[in-house]
């Protein structure tokens, strides 16, 4: 995709998954992955943080959306920067096809 094809709030795909644009610069696109969220639960016992056997939960896109993971800014999920070389490997998301 070309930089001009990205829009804030729009979606695009990479080999890694589905992304939503959260910000744009003159040459870069900032986006968060929205096709799922891995949630790690940490329990504290005696002041030490530990991960239990059931500490990792995967939420699909609709579950994560319902729990508010994609509301922001600031967002509860990590945002990634796509430069002009990364943008070449992107394809339009579902609503842009």
Would you list the domain boundaries of the chain? 3-96
Residues 6+ apart with CB under 8 A from 47: none
pLDDT by residue (tens digit) across 44-78?
A: 666 666 656 567 889 999 999 999 999 999 999 99
Cite the beta strand spans of 46-89 per DSSP E: 48-50, 56-60, 79-82
Give yes or no for a contact between 18 and 37, defined as CB atoms under 8 angstroms apart.
no
pLDDT by residue (tens digit) across 8-49?
A: 999 999 999 999 999 999 999 999 999 999 988 766 666 666
The pLDDT score that the predictor gives to residue 54 is 60
This prediction's pTM = 0.83
pLDDT at 5 over 50: yes
Cβ-based burial of 77 (10 A; exposed 0-12, middle 13-18, buried ≥19): middle
């Amino acid at each position: 995709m070309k930089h001009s094809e990205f829009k804030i709030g729009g979606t695009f795909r990479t080999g890694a998954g589905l992304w939503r644009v959260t910000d744009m610069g003159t040459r870069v696109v900032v986006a968060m992955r929205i096709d799922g969220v891995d949630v790690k639960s940490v329990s504290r016992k005696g002041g030490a943080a530990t991960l239990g056997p059931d500490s990792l939960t995967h939420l699909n896109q609709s579950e994560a959306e319902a729990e508010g993971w994609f509301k922001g800014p600031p967002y509860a999920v990590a945002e990634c920067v796509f430069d002009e070389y990364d943008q070449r490997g992107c394809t339009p998301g579902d609503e842009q096809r």
